[in-house]
Chain A
Amino acid sequence: GAVVSQHPSWVICKSGTSVKIECRSLDFQATTMFWYRQFPKQSLMLMATSNEGSKATYEQGVEKDKFLINHASLTLSTLTVTSAHPEDSSFYICSAAGGPTLDTQYFGPGTRLTVL
């Protein structure tokens, strides 16, 4: 149990385009979903927290107009990187809480974004 999926697993896009990443909790309802970013040789950094039906809460330094988060249901959250630039190239990982152990976060496999 407690499986989280992400789609796509990798994406390459041109500078200036927008990219949408989906995060799904497959076998549980996630009360809260989180988005993290990981640059090469660095640790994961929390970008934002979202609850179903509510606006996301962004960490300091994360542009909410650039990284749009929609949490439309208890099993789906999406992250849209708008007007992507090469510096947005990173490994984006989502997690979901509300599974077998309510406080435990279960992570998706990640999405590798490369902006040319």
Chain B
Amino acid sequence: DAKTTQPPSMDCAEGRAANLPCNHSTISGNEYVYWYRQIHSQGPQYIIHGLKNNETNEMASLIITEDRKSSTLILPHATLRDTAVYYCIVRSSGGGADGLTFGKGTHLIIQP
């Protein structure tokens, strides 16, 4: 699976959009971009994933660049409960049988 690079930490004001970047320049054609987050002392929570088209669900939007070498997770109206470590993970389709490789992620802190 391709390696990802994320900033170690970010701040965002409550109520504003939080934009979390992820670089995955070595991604290959059949690899998806997944986002999870981990609130302190809890298990990771699935947020969203995508292949090449932008995706949106009730939690967030995922914007993938046309060359697929980077992506941005957008939390449209951040709340204090969105403070967590966010992980961007790249893995191949059909990889349901494979474990996930977690990097250090981005520690997003929502400021009141």
Interface residues, chain A, CB within 8 Å of chain B? 2, 4, 6, 31-32, 34, 36, 43-46, 49, 51, 59, 91, 93, 95, 97-98, 101-110, 112
Known: A34-B99, A103-B93, A103-B94. A91 touches B41 (CB 8 A): yes
Known: A46-B100, A97-B97. A108 touches B43 (CB 8 A): yes
Q: For the complex, what is the distance from the CA of A59 to the CA of B49, rounded to whole Å?
A: 25
Chain A residues contacting B112 (CB-CB under 8 Å) are none
Beta-carbon contact of A109 and B42 below 8 Å:
yes
* Chain A interface helix/strand/loop/mixed: strand
Chain B residues contacting A103 (CB-CB under 8 Å) are 32, 91, 93-96
Give chain B's interface residue range (CB within 8 Å of chain A). 20 to 34
Answer whether residue B101 sits at the interface, using C-beta atoms and an 8 A cutoff: yes
Known: A43-B102, A43-B103. A106 touches B96 (CB 8 A): no
Beta-carbon contact of A43 and B96 below 8 Å:
no
Q: For the complex, what is the distance from the CA of A108 to the CA of B46, rounded to whole Å?
A: 11
Taking the nearest CB of chain B, how far is it from the CB of A65, in angstroms?
20
Beta-carbon contact of B97 and A51 below 8 Å:
yes
Known: A43-B104, A43-B105. A107 touches B44 (CB 8 A): yes
Q: For the complex, what is the distance from the CA of A95 to the CA of B99, rounded to whole Å?
A: 9
**CB-nearest residue of chain A to B36:** A107
Answer whether residue B98 sits at the interface, using C-beta atoms and an 8 A cutoff: yes
